[in-house]
Amino acid sequence: MKSTVEEIRRRFDGEVERFANLETGQVATVDARLSLELITEAAARLAPDARRLLDVGCGAGNYTLMMLQKLPALSCALLDLSGPMLERAAARVLQQTNRAAEVFQGDVREVALRENHFDIILAGAVLHHLRDDADWEGVFGKLYRLLRPGGCLLIADLVAQDEAALTELVWQRYAGYLEGRGGAEYCRKVLDYIAREDSPRSVTYQLELMSRVGFGRVEILHKNMCFAAFGGVKARPAEGGR
């Protein structure tokens, strides 16, 4: 049985300090710093005149803070299950910008947000918590509707493979990476909570879904083992698309 939303929320409530520090919070994520840099830089180049940012699953705010280094004038909206994570993220944004972020606590599937409003949506290490196809399609469709035409969705996340033989290869290599970072016990701990909490889908699945819900252009920025950075742009009316 997979963890419930409430169980996931409780785990993250207790890990604010770890996730507020990239040195400790993203050890299990291969190329975490590179993916963070890539998706924020890509967003800045795709939407250089952006005014509004939504950080889905913002955690302690690392992605928003990096985005603000590139586009300092952004108005920020933070969304997360965890109240303590949101508090830390909002405090860090206020400290960096002297402007309050808009805060939304809850599940992205349920929180009401304004459509055609955001220029940039970032989703860092969050969408792998979605479950069945209806979940995935519903959330991707919602994120598409939240974007203004010309806006972009950038994702950095745990991903699956489409081929069973490659799944075995990738997870063997990932286990080796984890053991190299923290030993066999650390490796078992990470793989256990992935098995309990996560339902990742492949990059191919997600890019095809993005196209199906209306994104005009999609791109892969980076992939290493079971982690990837990718995204898409909502077409402007003159460019076609939905």
The separation between the first and the last C-alpha atoms of the chain, rounded to the nearest angstrom, is: 37
In this prediction, residue 1 carries a pLDDT of: 84
The answer as to whether 195 is a domain residue is: no
Q: Measure the CA–CA gap between 222 and 58, rounded to whole angstroms.
A: 21
The domain total for the chain is: 1
Q: What is the dihedral of CA 101, 54, 130, 170, to 10 degrees?
A: -110
Residue 24 reports pLDDT greater than 80: no
Q: Where are the alpha helices (DSSP H) in 47-163?
A: 62-70, 83-97, 133-146
Question: Exposed, middle or buried: residue 205 (CB in 10 Å: 0-12, 13-18, 19+)?
Answer: middle
The model's confidence at residue 236, banded by pLDDT at 50, 70 and 90, is confident
Question: Exposed, middle or buried: residue 165 (CB in 10 Å: 0-12, 13-18, 19+)?
Answer: exposed
The answer as to whether 176 is a domain residue is: no
Q: Measure the CA–CA gap between 65 and 198, rounded to whole angstroms.
A: 25
In this prediction, residue 35 carries a pLDDT of: 95
The answer as to whether 241 is a domain residue is: no
Query: Structure tokens of 111?
Result: 């929180």
The answer as to whether 14 is a domain residue is: yes
How do residues 113-141 score in pLDDT, each as one tens digit?
Answer: 999 999 999 999 999 999 999 999 999 99
Range of 226's domain?
5-161+200-236
| 23 SS3 class | helix
In this prediction, residue 239 carries a pLDDT of: 61
Residue 64 reports pLDDT greater than 90: yes
Residue 108 reports pLDDT greater than 80: yes
How do residues 213-225 score in pLDDT, each as one tens digit?
Answer: 999 899 999 999 9
Q: Domain containing 39 — which CATH number?
A: 3.40.50.150
The answer as to whether 191 is a domain residue is: no
The answer as to whether 190 is a domain residue is: no
In this prediction, residue 242 carries a pLDDT of: 45
Q: Measure the CA–CA gap between 18 and 122, rounded to whole angstroms.
A: 20
Residue 23 reports pLDDT greater than 80: no
How do residues 174-195 score in pLDDT, each as one tens digit?
Answer: 999 999 999 999 999 999 999 9
Give the global pTM: 0.95
